[in-house]
């Protein structure tokens, strides 16, 4: 192989690596932030006409959405839950809500509210997702493209090429409690889980014959179970955040 070709190839690789390291993080093109009208009830986030509209959201909600955490994996001053804003943000023409909304919101909060966070591990009451006696009843599915999807609606969870780690994250949202994957089962799985959303705590009461099973009973049908334990859980900690954003 000619030496000149090797040199040119090395330069290209170095240039690509440098570009990847300096490529700007995804960010909203523009954002307007104003205090919410006092006394409003409820809050919400949706997209409309090429904009992301966040209505009456607290700063705590903003941080949790930005870093995809829930109350149990969030730590910050109490006042973050009492200061509410209306935010209208314009994303780039081509973007992915699923993949880029969180990082863009992180950048917005850092720029406008001077948000600074760090992650740490805390031991707390949690659930370990483990294999039931007899082992897991699901079979791994080949996933050559690396893609996966899931959908949850009214007590029905449909998974397509989902890992046990991702399934544990779903269970954590349903139970509002940390769930750590301890199955030691690699690979991706496709399955459906139907359960009663009204029963998220174990109960000895017999449900009506036509009622959906509790989430604990439904899991047993997959060869899985939840075991209460004290486990290390990653927590996002707010080190600093301003009450008032910089000007629009």
Nearest-10 crossing angle of helices 97-113, 59-67? 130
pLDDT of 23 > 70? The answer is: no
The pLDDT score that the predictor gives to residue 142 is 82
83 within 8 A of 63, measured Cβ to Cβ = no
pLDDT of 5 > 50? The answer is: no
Q: Once rounded to an integer, what is the mean pLDDT over residues 215-226?
A: 96
121 within 8 A of 233, measured Cβ to Cβ = yes
| DSSP 8-state code for residue 50 | T
Instruction: For residue 25, give every residue at least 6 positions away whose Cβ sits within 8 Å of its Cβ, in sequence order, or none.
Output: 103, 107
**pLDDT: which is higher, 171 or 15:** 171
The pLDDT score that the predictor gives to residue 149 is 85
The pLDDT score that the predictor gives to residue 121 is 97
């Amino acid at each position: 192989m000619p030496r000149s070709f090797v040199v040119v190839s090395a330069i290209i690789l170095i240039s690509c690596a440098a570009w990847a390291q300096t490529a700007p993080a995804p960010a909203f093109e523009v954002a307007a932030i104003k205090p919410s009208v006092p006394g409003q009830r409820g809050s919400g986030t949706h997209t409309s006409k090429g904009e992301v509209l966040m209505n009456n959201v607290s700063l705590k909600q903003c941080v949790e959405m930005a870093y995809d955490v829930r109350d149990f994996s969030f730590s910050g001053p109490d006042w973050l839950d009492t200061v509410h804003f209306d935010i209208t943000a314009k994303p780039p023409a081509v973007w992915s809500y699923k993949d880029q909304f969180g990082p863009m919101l992180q950048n917005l909060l850092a720029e406008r509210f001077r948000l600074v966070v760090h992650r740490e591990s805390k031991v707390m009451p949690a659930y370990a997702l483990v294999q039931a006696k007899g082992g897991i009843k699901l079979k791994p599915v080949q996933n050559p493209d690396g893609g996966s999807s899931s959908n949850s609606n009214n007590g029905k969870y449909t998974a397509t090429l989902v890992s046990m780690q991702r399934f544990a994250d779903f269970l954590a949202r349903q139970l509002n409690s940390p769930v750590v994957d301890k199955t030691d089962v690699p690979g991706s799985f496709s399955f459906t889980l139907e359960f009663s959303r009204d029963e998220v705590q174990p109960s000895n009461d017999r449900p009506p014959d036509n009622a959906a099973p509790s989430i604990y009973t439904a899991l047993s049908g997959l060869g899985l179970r939840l075991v209460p334990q004290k486990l290390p859980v990653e927590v996002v900690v707010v080190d600093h955040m301003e009450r008032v954003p910089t000007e629009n």
